[in-house]
């Protein structure tokens, strides 16, 4: 049995007919072709699927789409404007924080929530803020640096 819903993603409402047990990650990837949110574990352990729901970072693999309701979902595809990257995206590029890149989008979304609640975080606050996101390539070193750079450019 499927259910008709309206889902607000990146500022646009979409009418969808989906099974009630479909995760937001599956809806984004398979119904809406927003493949920036990645499947890494399906159990809320890696953070590759992180999106913002009304500004709060959430594992989309642990969220049923039907529970989102009227709230606004923001994915990595929704944070840049045309060719102008979000400050975090630009900082990830500039600092060399991207290696294989599979964790990158989820990492940026978690950092986005961190900076929205704490625009000038300390290094240890950045590390804690990213601790729900795993990375196997970078050792997080340049990712932490990227968030610092993005925070500084916000402050300026």
Report the nearest approach of another protein to the CB of residue 99 (Å): 5
Through-space distance between the first and last CA atoms of the chain, rounded to whole angstroms: 52
Report the nearest approach of another protein to the CB of residue 7 (Å): 18
Rule CB under 8 A: choose which of 9, 40, 87, 114 binds another protein. Answer: 40
**The dihedral formed by the CA atoms of 143, 147, 149 and 150, expressed in degrees to the nearest 10:** 130
CB-count exposure of residue 82 (10 Å: 0-12, 13-18, 19+) = exposed
Q: Output 71 or 127, the one with its CB closest to another protein.
A: 127
Restricted to residues 52-81, the positions that interact with another protein (CB under 8 A) are 76-77, 80
Tokens of 134: 């795993």
> No. of H helices and E strands in the chain?
5, 5
Restricted to residues 126-145, the positions that interact with another protein (CB under 8 A) are 126-128, 130-144
Q: Which residues form the interface with another protein (CB under 8 A)?
A: 34-36, 38-46, 48, 76-77, 80, 85, 89, 92-96, 98-105, 108, 123, 126-128, 130-144
């Amino acid at each position: 049995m499927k259910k008709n819903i309206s889902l607000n993603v990146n500022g646009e409402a979409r009418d969808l007919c989906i099974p009630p047990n479909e995760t937001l990650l599956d809806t984004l990837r398979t119904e809406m072709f927003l493949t920036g949110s990645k499947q890494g574990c399906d159990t809320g352990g890696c953070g590759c699927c992180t999106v913002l729901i009304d500004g709060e970072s959430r594992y989309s693999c642990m969220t049923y789409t039907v529970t989102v309701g009227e709230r606004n979902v923001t994915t990595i595809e929704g944070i840049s404007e045309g060719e102008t990257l979000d400050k975090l995206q630009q900082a990830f590029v500039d600092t060399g924080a991207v290696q294989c890149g599979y964790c990158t989008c989820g990492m940026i979304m978690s950092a986005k929530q961190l900076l929205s609640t704490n625009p000038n975080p300390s290094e240890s606050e950045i590390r804690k803020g990213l601790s729900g996101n795993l990375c196997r390539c970078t050792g997080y070193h340049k990712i932490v640096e990227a968030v610092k750079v993005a925070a500084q450019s916000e402050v300026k």
